[in-house]
Amino acid sequence: MNTKVKIAVVVGAGISGASICLALKKRNIQTILLDAEAGPAHHASGNPIGVVYPFLTKHRLAESEFSLAAFHYFLSVWEDFDLKSVVPHADGIYFLMDNPATYDRYSNAIKSHQIPVHVGCEKIEPYSGLPAIFFPQGKSVSPVNLTKQILRISNPETRYSCTLFSWEKSENKTNIICQTSEGKIHCDYLFLSQGYQFADDPHLNWLPLQKVRGQILKFPEQIPTNAHGILYGDYITSAIEGYQVLGATFDEYKLEETPREEESILLWQKLSKKLPNLSEPWGPQNPSLFPTRVSYRTQSQDRHPVVGKLPNISKLDLSVKYQNVLRNGKKQMEVPYFESVGILNGLGSRGLTHALFAAEILVSEMFAEERITSESISKSLRPDRFLLRMWKREQLT
Ligand SMILES: Cc1cc2nc3c(=O)[nH]c(=O)nc-3n(C[C@H](O)[C@H](O)[C@H](O)COP(=O)(O)OP(=O)(O)OC[C@H]3O[C@@H](n4cnc5c(N)ncnc54)[C@H](O)[C@@H]3O)c2cc1C
């Protein structure tokens, strides 16, 4: 019997990396967490407040079923580890259905997904007087504290200010060697969750992931304050520790780090227009004076997370397609993998809701455990989906 202790390295101490650490802790895997920064949650996971609620589609799709299951999983972790006592938060999210298309989509989503009233129900949002879906257990939370608390529970060995430069299979192919700014680390499993910096890793730069700039505004709690977070195209969070957040403007093309004053003004104007009963009593405000934060989310081509064993594209047999053409065959492309390397990325603007469940799916698949979700959900998340599309479109030659 092989009794050697297995070691996993997780790269990235954002919400994704923290969630992987938790899934590994549940399986008693010795874990080393690396981050180039001096501590956790410095990048996308470093916003002061974010919102947690599920993404729904009119009809059941793998994407919405994953999101709903992820929301339930988030709530179970929240409960099991009593996170409500340690993570600053406020319960309740309203999602406004302020036009016929949104109303059609969300009111039908509640029915098609058979969402019970205690999870989500139609309700008038009091400040706008508009119909909304209310998620009583949805939350405004501090992503930084959430990440830190998940790490506290997972208790990995941490190596901060430590950058992963490269990684490769060892010569005898039994383990992986990570070359880092602090020297070499040998491990049995490697989990990659580098967020928007994925492209620095040559094993990942084929993935159709994109860095997207986001800007939010943080302002002192206003009176009267909205007890629940409200989404209306943009979003306003409930107050946490004396502050609220208004978000977010996104830009896929121009990515500068300096805040844009005009976007802060625009966010405030849209708030005044959509929720006048909330914001008028606050009196005139100068949003240019409120602190802004620019950060970057990572978005995949189909806006769905990337979760699974990593394909090894250097080993792809691209000749299959031509063999099929020549021999009129129907041979499928076989995807070769780095068997012990997993990826969790592309969480877009819903990382807080999705990361814990995505990590659980990833780790259970890597360890060939019984599936915890349907095959269609797992398939919709795997990185392979892009490879197959690229192969069909001749983008891999
Ligand atoms: C403006 C904005 C608002 C948002 N609002 C919400 C919201 O309300 N609700 C919600 O659910 N989601 C929201 N999101 C999305 C959410 O923040 C992200 O999906 C999530 O934080 C992504 O987490 P991550 O761990 O994948 O990435 P990150 O938090 O970016 O973590 C990646 C980590 O990897 C490290 N790293 C990278 N390369 C290396 C390397 N080579 N070596 C060592 N370390 C490395 C980085 O230092 C970083 O700490 C928002 C995003 C933005 C930008």
Nearest alpha-carbon partner for 236 in 165, 290, 187, 174? 290
Question: Could you tell me whether strands 229-232 and 89-96 are parallel, antiparallel, or unpaired per DSSP bridges?
Answer: parallel
The whole-number pLDDT of residue 10 equals 98
CA distance 339 to 358: 18
Q: What is the pLDDT of residues 126-174, one digit of tens each?
A: 999 999 999 999 999 999 999 999 999 999 999 999 999 999 998 887 8
Instruction: Tell me the two tokens of residue 315.
Output: 């080993």
For residue 34, with 0-12 CB atoms within 10 Å meaning exposed, 13-18 middle and 19 or more buried, which class applies?
Answer: buried
The whole-number pLDDT of residue 392 equals 76
The whole-number pLDDT of residue 325 equals 58
User: CA of 60: how far to CAs of 52, 66, 132, 299, 374, in Å?
Assistant: 20, 10, 20, 22, 13
Instruction: Count Cβ neighbours within 10 Å for each residue of 83-94 and write b for 16 or more, e otherwise.
Output: beeebbbbbbbb
Residues 58/108, Cβ–Cβ less than 8 Å: yes
3-class DSSP state of 29 = coil
- Per mean pLDDT, which range of 83-92, 197-206, 329-338 is the poorest? 329-338
CA distance 40 to 18: 9
Whether the bond between 248 and the residue before it is cis, its omega within 30 degrees of 0, is yes
CA distance 161 to 335: 35
Expressed in angstroms and rounded, the spacing between residue 348 Cα and the centre of ligand 1 is 9
36 pocket-lining for ligand 1 (C-beta < 6 Å):
yes
Question: For a pLDDT cut of 90, what percent of the chain falls above it?
Answer: 88
Mean pLDDT, residues 95-117 taken together: 96
Model pTM score: 0.96
Q: Which helix (H) or strand (E) holds 121?
A: strand 121-125
Residue nearest ligand 1's atom 48 by CA: 12
Within a 10 A sphere around the Cβ of 331, how many other Cβ atoms?
12
Expressed in angstroms and rounded, the spacing between residue 15 Cα and the centre of ligand 1 is 7
| Phi (first) and psi of residue 394, to 5 degrees | 65, 30
| Phi (first) and psi of residue 51, to 5 degrees | -115, 145
- Packing angle, helices 143-154 and 351-366, rounded to 10: 30
The whole-number pLDDT of residue 393 equals 76
Q: What is the pLDDT of residues 13-41, one digit of tens each?
A: 999 999 999 999 999 999 999 999 999 99
Residue nearest ligand 1's atom 25 by CA: 14
Q: Which atom of ligand 1 is nearest to the CA of 17?
A: 25
383 pocket-lining for ligand 1 (C-beta < 6 Å):
no
CA distance 172 to 174: 6
CA distance 374 to 382: 13
User: Residue 198 carries which side chain, given as an amino acid letter?
Assistant: F
Give the residue, out of 16, 141, 249, 306, with the most ligand 1 atoms within 8 A of its beta carbon, to mutate for a pocket test.
16
Q: In angstroms, how far is CA 240 from the centroid of its own chain?
A: 21
Collect all residues with Cβ–Cβ distance below 8 Å to 342 and sequence separation of at least 6.
Answer: 20, 189, 190, 191, 192, 307, 308, 309, 310, 362, 363, 365, 366
Give me the residue label for tokens 């999101």: 67
Q: Which atom of ligand 1 is nearest to the CA of 345?
A: 26
Domains and CATH numbers, the chain: 7-44+147-209+301-391 (3.50.50.60), 88-141+212-297 (3.30.9.10)
356 pocket-lining for ligand 1 (C-beta < 6 Å):
no
Residues 148/39, Cβ–Cβ less than 8 Å: no
Instruction: Tell me the two tokens of residue 292.
Output: 């802004």
Over the chain, what is the mean pLDDT?
94
| Phi (first) and psi of residue 206, to 5 degrees | -80, -15
213 pocket-lining for ligand 1 (C-beta < 6 Å):
no
346 pocket-lining for ligand 1 (C-beta < 6 Å):
no
